[in-house]
Structure 1
Amino acid sequence: MPHCRILVFSCNPEQSTTETLAGASLAGAHQQSRGFARYLQFQTRGGGGGSGWGRWSEDSDKVLWGLIAANVGGFALWRLAPNLMQTHATVSIEGLRAGRVWTALTAAFSHKDVYHLGANMVGLYFFGRDVGRLFGGKRLLMLYMAGGVAGSLAHCGWYYYQACKTGEGRYGRARWFGFTPSALGASAAVNALTVCDILLYPTRTVLLYAIIPMPAALLGVLWLLNDVSGAMDGHRGHIAHAGHLGGAATGLAFFLAYNVSTSSTNATYMPAWEAPQGSPADAMRDFEAALAQVAPSMRLVDAASGPAREYRRYAVDDPLFDHDDIEVLISVQRPPYEADPPLVTFRSMAAQVKYVWPIQQAITDFGAQRQRLKEVRSRLGWRILGCDLLECFEE
């Protein structure tokens, strides 16, 4: 049975919960009909066109596999040209002082040990897949690279701090600025993706060491505590714990950047949903019926149809913000539906949310919008994406 995937967007400030992903997408709460559709490259006028959700998701998969291939290629190069890799694919203060600044990035694609490579690629696939499908291939690549660079700088910066604090490095005062432990591996970059994904789905059940089930948030806390302890203990086990923490901080920054709206961009992502409908038209019809039950005052503002896709924009009365704008986009990558299930996305945007400069603190709606979206999903019986494989406790 094919089923739709629903990606929920909401701008309400109190929704940084288990049902909120991250970030701002469009400027202005009174953005007209092309707003949300343009963000997903969906032509609301003229009956379709554009690249749509299909190419967006497809692009993220290509980026994900490209990153994995690049890491495997780096592993192979260690066998073919180890001296080259040692010079240009490991990061250290020595290398940065010598002008090899690119090593801060190339180190994130460098593995000498097959276990190190395998563990990182497993994490990259599972956590990167979620991030890529929700934010797109470009942001997946951006977060990976930013996490890798941040991890490299954190590794070097931590050793530099330790040297300034104690007067000598881990290998003695005389050798501190002549040679420092080099770092390599995708761990920091993968940590950025992992932390972002855990913040998106904190209550999702994951398996520690593929055996012990626990909430994703608890696993994240344990990882962070281990890295903090390791960094304070002098990078025990020759592991760059400070680099891991740099990557984790990057994931947190990415999540906050897309979760806390600014004065000009005020829509936030929420986790994707699943539905059993077999076509965009069927899913749209059921969604509209459920929304009408939850918000009887809703009124249609705009509508468009294209090849294997449907778009609607509604206005819903709200006592606090005058009205909310709810946009729904349902599309498939390519027919037939049985081979490629519909992807259903929608965004709900309170029309008059205000923000306080410079911290961009949004005025609360006391959870009204979050409750409205939850009730719609409850009436439809749709589930959060991924719960068919992992047991989820999001309520």
Structure 2
Amino acid sequence: MDPRIVLGTIIGANVGVYFYWQFAIGSTRQFGDYSRLQFMRRHFTNSIDNFKNGRIYTLLTYAFSHQSLNHLGVNMLVLWSMGTGVISAIGASRFLLLYSGASVVGGLVSLAYQQYLRPALEGHRSGYGAVRKVDSVGASAGVMGITTFFACACKLSVSCL
């Protein structure tokens, strides 16, 4: 399969979700309607609450949400530049497995950090005060998986591109 189609689909989905976030935020600000924003937080963020409430799929869907246009732009630029070579090397299905697997593993690490490490660190520093809940968003874990594969493949190969 043509790498441009695979990457274009992923990038298009990320852009679409980003713009829906902007619509939900605007709707909340302008009309006081929190329903769209609540929907996005429930289904497109990685959080302890989502995980505990059985929304396991958010371990993948959070990777389509981005905090800012810069966040989205950098992730998609790196995905496009590294992803083309990776898809050419391993094929579309393995690429999608690597990308989604890295996103899920990154989501699990983020949950472990939120649940165990962050409270211990902040409690130790601030006398066991309340720890603010933080949701994870972004394609960074998936992109890092692709980038790591690309770097390892370049190390093993004479030509990287």
Match of 1:201 in 2: 154
CA contact (8 A) 2:86 2:149 kept: yes
- Aligned-pair Cα RMSD in Å: 2.6
Q: Structure 1 residues 385 and 162, CA, compared in 2 at 3 Å: closer, same or farther?
A: closer
TM-score w.r.t. the length of structure 2 is: 0.80
CA contact (8 A) 1:61 1:137 kept: no
Counterpart CA distance in 2 for 1:157 and 1:113 is 24
CA contact (8 A) 1:89 1:107 kept: yes
Q: Does 1:139 align with 2:94?
A: yes
Match of 1:109 in 2: 64
CA contact (8 A) 1:171 1:180 kept: no
Task: Work out which of the residue numbers 67, 80, 98 in structure 1 matches 2:23.
Answer: 80
Counterpart CA distance in 2 for 1:163 and 1:385 is 38
Q: Structure 1 residues 75 and 182, CA, compared in 2 at 3 Å: closer, same or farther?
A: same
CA contact (8 A) 2:153 2:160 kept: no
Matches within 5 A, 1:63-74: 63-74=6-17
Question: Any gaps of 5 or more consecutive residues in structure 1?
Answer: 1-55, 203-269, 272-382, 387-395
CA contact (8 A) 1:64 1:129 kept: yes
Runs of 4+ with >2 A deviation: 163-176, 383-386
Q: How far 1:173 moved relative to its partner?
A: 4.9
CA contact (8 A) 1:64 1:137 kept: no
Match of 1:154 in 2: 109
Counterpart CA distance in 2 for 1:77 and 1:139 is 29
Max radius of gyration: which structure?
1
What per-residue deviation string (whole Å, max 9, x for no partner) do you get for residues 126-155 of structure 1? 111111111111111111111111111101
Matches within 5 A, 1:325-344: none
Q: How far 1:163 moved relative to its partner?
A: 5.3
Counterpart CA distance in 1 for 2:122 and 2:148 is 34
Instruction: Looking at secondary structure, tell me which structure has more strand per residue.
Output: 1
Match of 1:368 in 2: none
Report sequence identity in percent: 32
Aligned residues: 149
Task: Work out which of the residue numbers 135, 141, 144 in structure 2 matches 1:191.
Answer: 144
Counterpart CA distance in 1 for 2:126 and 2:111 is 14
Matches within 5 A, 1:1-395: 56=1, 58=2, 60-82=3-25, 83=37, 84-162=39-117, 165=120, 168=123, 173=128, 175-176=130-131, 180-202=133-155, 271=157, 384=159, 386=161
Q: How far 1:99 moved relative to its partner?
A: 1.9
CA contact (8 A) 2:154 2:160 kept: no
Counterpart CA distance in 2 for 1:107 and 1:171 is 30
Match of 2:28 in 1: none
Q: Structure 1 residues 158 and 114, CA, compared in 2 at 3 Å: closer, same or farther?
A: same
Instruction: Looking at secondary structure, tell me which structure has more helix per residue.
Output: 2
Counterpart CA distance in 2 for 1:148 and 1:69 is 17
Match of 1:283 in 2: none
TM-score w.r.t. the length of structure 1 is: 0.35
What per-residue deviation string (whole Å, max 9, x for no partner) do you get for residues 264-290 of structure 1? xxxxxx74xxxxxxxxxxxxxxxxxxx
Q: Structure 1 residues 98 and 115, CA, compared in 2 at 3 Å: closer, same or farther?
A: same
CA contact (8 A) 1:64 1:132 kept: no
